[in-house]
Amino acid sequence: MTTFDIILLLSSTIFLILLISVSMKCYYIKNNMKSFCEQIKEVRLSEREQPLSVASFDANTVDLANEINYLIKDLKDMARRAKQSEKNNKLIMAGVSHDFRTPLTTVDGYLQLINETLEECDIFKKDDKNSSMIIGQFNIINEKIKYLKLLSEEFFDVTYINALEKDSLSNVRFDKIISEVLMDNHDWMKERDLETIIDIPDEAIYVKADEHNLRRIIDNLFTNVKKYAQNHLDISVNISNDEVILTIINDLDNMLEFDVNHIFEPFYRAKGRSGPGAGLGLYVCKELANAMNFKISGDIKNNNFSIVLNMPTK
């Protein structure tokens, strides 16, 4: 074997060793990067607290893992502080909303008492300009207080919902709640002479819900009907595939314009509507429905507004 052959053999051996070494290092780096990606994804999608681990103890790889762990810890600490701060702010807003609502309720009660007292006074029995002006001004004040009270109640609903944690759900008699709400709304429905079709099974119907929140949803849906229904109202309840489906359909004023994609957004109101309300009723329904694993949707076809509420029975 010549000197050239020996040098060539040694060179080839060294090159092969280097190639194997580089290949192994690339393999370990690739495995570490793959492991990092999987672990970071797990941290992002779960409540994992365990720090990232490494497949090799290369100094650079360990330093990278440590820096990522420090970053994850800082981000999680920031998220916890932000969540706690948000919760505190919501509790404060709920408290302020409640304190704002209470005096308005008191003022409204006093106004009713004043109204009853003034109606007994002789001046309000006179048919003259001064009496009419005083009565008109009093009625304006009374309406403004009622409007502020309505706004405060809707605002309280929103802040109260956001401040609450999800409660455990139980079996609730839906047929009992819908019947009671129908009775509560019977008078105005009769006065408006609505053509009403009610199709509710004559049996006990149970859904998995929080009773107070479920009643709040149904109340809000009927309040929405009261605002918009013109001539007819259809209410139906169906039981299918382990869920109860409530459908409410009412006609609309031709002058109103709705964007069905925004009806569950806070403060959304139909264009052309001038009545009281802040546009929070259906938003509250959506939030409460989400909290109880319900599904709620709305649609408008042929000038008919429909709301469908899907409620699980288990």
- pLDDT by residue for the chain (314 residues), tens digit each? 677 777 777 778 887 888 888 777 777 777 777 877 887 777 777 777 777 777 666 677 777 778 888 888 888 888 888 877 777 666 666 666 666 667 777 777 777 777 777 666 665 555 666 667 777 777 788 777 777 777 777 776 666 666 555 556 889 999 999 999 999 898 888 888 889 999 999 899 999 998 888 998 999 899 889 888 889 999 999 998 889 999 999 988 877 777 788 888 877 777 655 555 567 788 888 988 988 889 999 998 888 999 999 999 98
The amino acid at 140: I
Long-range contacts of 136-139 (CB under 8 A, 24+ apart): 138/114
Report the half-sphere exposure of 258 (CA within 13 A, side-chain side): 20
Contacts of 223 (CB under 8 A, 6+ apart): 281
On the 0-12 / 13-18 / 19+ scale of CB atoms within 10 A, 53 is exposed
This model's pTM is above 0.85: no
Q: Given this model, what pLDDT does residue 74 score?
A: 84
